[in-house]
Amino acid sequence: MTPLSSLAKTIRSKNAGTDKITFDIIFTDRATYERVKTSGALTRETVAALYRIDGDRITDFVNFDPAFAIKFTILRERPSGSPGDGDIFGAQQYAPLLSIQIAEPA
């Protein structure tokens, strides 16, 4: 098993408008991208389980081939910048993704 942080070039989160946070996991080459994509470790279901949110809070989950990227977007618990929001830009919400374990290729 290899942590996602060792395989991806970029793992980031950022606001997508006022009510959503979007996550991008970008790889440098097609082989690594395909490996993670087919591993089953990064799907709508695994992400919902990781963040312990209902699946319907994930508005988009896209494997974006042209950029070797996996991308998903979640609805925020409250709009950005509301009092108590600890991350107005949504820029630090990706941290739990770093340690997702990806199986070795078959």
Partner 1 sequence: MRSTLKVICPNEHLGFAPSKTASFAIGVDADPDIIAADSGSDDVGPGPLGSDTSTSPLAWQTHDLELMLLAARKKGVPMIIGSAGDTGTNSRVDLYVDVIRQLQKKHDLAPFKLGYFYSEVDKEWLREKIRSGDAVTGLDARPDLDEAELDATDRIVAMAGVHPYIKLLDMGAEVIIGGRSSDCALFAAPAIRAGYPEALAYYLGKVLECASFCAEPYGGKETVMGEISAQDVRVTAMNPDQRCTIASVAGHAMYERSNPYYEYVAGGCLDMNQCNYEQIAEKTTRITGPKFVPAEQIRVKLEGAGKIGERFVGLVGIRDPYTIANVDKVIQWARDQASERFGNQPYELHYNVYGRDGVMGALETERSVVPHELCVMVQGIAQTRELAEEVCMTGTRQMFYARLPDVKGTAGSVAFSLDEVMHASAAYRWTLNHTVAVDDPLQLFPCHTTMIGA
Footprint on this chain of partner 1 (rule: CB under 8 A): 10, 14-20, 22, 24, 26, 28, 50-53, 59-60, 62, 64, 66-69, 71, 73, 75, 77-84, 86-89, 92-93, 95-96
| 84-93: b (≥16 Cβ within 10 Å) or e | eeeeeebeeb
- Name the minimum Å distance from CB 40 to partner 1: 19
- Name the minimum Å distance from CB 106 to partner 1: 26
- Name the minimum Å distance from CB 68 to partner 1: 7
CA distances from 68 to 74, 79, 83 (A): 20, 30, 36
CB 18 within 8 Å of CB 60: no
